[in-house]
Amino acid sequence: MPLVTYSDSDEDQESSEPAAGVQRANVTAPKRKRSASPPTELPPLPTSFHDLYATNVRTGVSDDPSLHNGRKRQIPHLEGNWPTHVYLEWHPGRDAVRLLQGIVDRATDASSTVHTLLQSDLGAPLPLHVSLSRSLALHTDQREAFLSRVRGHVAAAAVRAFDVRFTKVAWYPNHERNRWFLSLGVRRPGADELNRLLGACNDACREMRQPELYVPPRDEPENAQQGRSWRQEASRPRRRVDVPDCSEAFHVSLAWSLEPQRLAGGLQEISPDELADLSTHFDCVKVKIGNTVSSLPLHATKVSSSQKWLLT
C-alpha cells in the first residue's frame, strides 16, 4: 500500500510566515487622522416631511378604549368613511417645548387622569394644532370635492402668513363634552386671520353638508335638508354668512382628560407674563383626509420698505 506523503512542518511554518507578516503589518499600519473640524449642522427638514408621517399605522378598525387610555372615537369607523380635519399645525422649538412641558407637569401633578399631547407613548415629539374644523366624516366620493372647496375658500379669503401669541391657560371641553383639553388660549391676530380662515373652512363644510366649527346649526327644516344630496346642496347659490367673532374659542391643546378639570395648584399661578415670549408662525392650512395630509399655502407676508432695504 503506498504511503501518503504529508508536507513538512517546516514548510507549513515558512508558508505561514508571510501571512503573519501581513497581519502584523495591518495591525501596525498608521491610522488616518480624523478631521478636527467641528460637525456641520444639518439643514432643517422641509415642511412637507412632517405630512408623510402624520398618522400612526392602523392596527385595526374596532374601537378599543383600553388601548388609548379610555378614549373613544368621536366618529365610529365605518367602511367608506374618511375621518377629516382642517387645522393649523405648530412644531414648537426646544425652548417652547420646555415651557409647555412645565405647564403639563403642573397639570399632571394636580390630577393623575391628565395625559400629555406633547409626546407619543414612545416619547417622540408631537405637533400641536389650532382647529379650523370639527372632526368630520367624508364619504369616498366627497374627498376631492371637499379638498377643492377648502382650497378655493382659503384662497378667496386672501389670508397672509401670520404670527400668533397666547393669552392664558385654560381647560376647554370638546363638542360632545366627553373630553377636556388643557390648552393655550390664542390672542386675536392683528388682521383677524383666524376668524377669516374659520369662515372659509365653515363655508366649505356648509356646502358639503358637514357640521361647522364654533357656529350653531342653521335654522332650516330637517326634511328640507334630507331631500337634497350634498351635490345639490353645494350647487345652490349662497349668500355669504358673516362668521361671529370666535377669538375666545381658538386654542392649542397640550393635554387631555376624560374627567372635567379645573385650574388648580400650579396652573393657577401661570400668568400672561410667562407666555409673553411664546409665539408661532403659520404659513399654510393643513387638510387631513384619512391618512393623507394636504398643505394649502397662505399668501406670503408682505415685506415693508424698511425690510426690503435690509434684504438688499
Q: Which amino acid appears at position 41 of this protein?
A: E
Cβ 88 vs Cβ 129: under 8 Å = yes
Residue 169 has a pLDDT of 94
Residue 310 has a pLDDT of 38
State the pLDDT confidence band at 307, using cuts at 50, 70 and 90. Answer: very low
CATH-assigned architecture of domain 79-215+227-311: Alpha-Beta Complex (3.90)
For the segment 25-32, the average pLDDT, to the nearest whole number, is: 54
Interatomic CA distance for residues 224 and 215, integer angstroms = 20
Residue 306 has a pLDDT of 45
**CB atoms < 10 A from the CB of 134, how many?**
20
Residues known to be catalytic: 129, 251
State the pLDDT confidence band at 222, using cuts at 50, 70 and 90. Answer: very low
How large a percentage of the chain has pLDDT more than 70? 62
Domain boundaries, the chain: 79-215+227-311
Cβ 166 vs Cβ 275: under 8 Å = yes
Residue 191 has a pLDDT of 96
Cβ 103 vs Cβ 169: under 8 Å = yes
Which one has a higher pLDDT value, 307 or 136?
136
**CB atoms < 10 A from the CB of 206, how many?**
19
Interatomic CA distance for residues 241 and 153, integer angstroms = 13
Return the half-sphere exposure (C-beta side, CA atoms, 13 A cut-off) of residue 306.
Answer: 0
Instruction: Return the sign of the alpha-carbon dihedral for residues 253, 255, 258, 259.
Output: negative
Residue 30 has a pLDDT of 55
Cβ 211 vs Cβ 217: under 8 Å = yes
How do residues 271-298 score in pLDDT, each as one tens digit?
888 999 999 999 999 999 999 999 999 9
Return the half-sphere exposure (C-beta side, CA atoms, 13 A cut-off) of residue 3.
Answer: 3
For residue 181, pLDDT over 70 is answered with yes
How do residues 64-89 score in pLDDT, each as one tens digit?
555 544 455 556 656 789 999 999 99
Please state the φ and ψ torsions of residue 126, each to the nearest 5 degrees: -115, 145
- Please give the order of strands across the beta sheet that includes 180-186: 115-116, 251-257, 180-186, 162-173, 279-282
- Cα pseudo-dihedral 264, 269, 270, 272, rounded to 10: 130
Please state the φ and ψ torsions of residue 169, each to the nearest 5 degrees: -115, 130
